[in-house]
Amino acid sequence: MSLDNPGATTPSPITMRPPQQSRLERLAGLPLRLARNRTLVLLLVAGAFGALAVGGARGYIAERIATERERLNPPRAMVQVVVAKTDLQPGSTVGPDTMAVRSMPAEFAPGGSVRPDAFGQVEGMRLSQPMRSGEPLLPTVVEQPYEGNFSNRIRHGIRAMTIQVDEVNSVSGMLQPGDRIDLLFTVRPPVLPGMAPAEEVTAPLMQDLAVLATGSQIAPSGDPTGSGRQFTSITVEVAPEQAQRLIVAQRSGRLTATLRNPEDRAPVAAAALDVSTLLGVRREPPAAVRKASGPELIVGGNGGPLRRVENGGEVAGAIGRGTGDSIADAAVRVAAGDAR
Nearest CA to 159 out of 249, 235, 238 is that of 238
Calculated CA dihedral for residues 224, 230, 233, 239, nearest 10 degrees: -10
Predicted pLDDT at 233: 87
With 0-12 CB in 10 A as exposed, 13-18 as middle and 19+ as buried, what is 111?
exposed
Amino acid at 78: M
Predicted pLDDT at 290: 56
pLDDT tens profile 229-257: 677 888 999 999 999 999 999 999 998 88
CA atoms of 151 and 27, how far apart (whole Å): 111
Predicted pLDDT at 70: 78
CA atoms of 184 and 249, how far apart (whole Å): 10
User: Residue 58: helix, strand or coil by DSSP?
Assistant: helix
Nearest CA to 110 out of 71, 82, 150, 76 is that of 82
User: CB of 182 within 8 A of CB of 260?
Assistant: yes
* DSSP, res 319: I
pLDDT tens profile 75-116: 778 889 999 999 998 878 898 899 999 998 888 888 888 889
CA atoms of 45 and 51, how far apart (whole Å): 10
**Farthest CA pair distance, the chain:** 223
Predicted pLDDT at 30: 64
Predicted pLDDT at 338: 44
CATH topology of domain 78-143: Type Iii Antifreeze Protein Isoform Hplc 12 (3.90.1210)
DSSP 75-112: ---EEEEEEESS-B-TTPBPSTTTEEEEEEETTTSPTT
User: CB of 159 within 8 A of CB of 243?
Assistant: yes
Question: Which H or E element spans position 26?
Answer: helix 19-36
CA atoms of 326 and 111, how far apart (whole Å): 96
Handedness of CA 174, 175, 179, 181 (dihedral sign): positive
CA atoms of 142 and 178, how far apart (whole Å): 12
Q: How many CA atoms lie within 13 A of 204 on its CB side?
A: 12
Predicted pLDDT at 316: 41
Predicted pLDDT at 296: 57
Residues of the chain with pLDDT under 50: 1-5, 8, 14, 306, 308-328, 330-340
Question: Using only C-alpha atoms, what is the Rg of the chain?
Answer: 54
Handedness of CA 166, 169, 173, 178 (dihedral sign): negative
- Annotated domain spans of the chain: 78-143, 150-220+230-279
User: CB of 182 within 8 A of CB of 257?
Assistant: yes
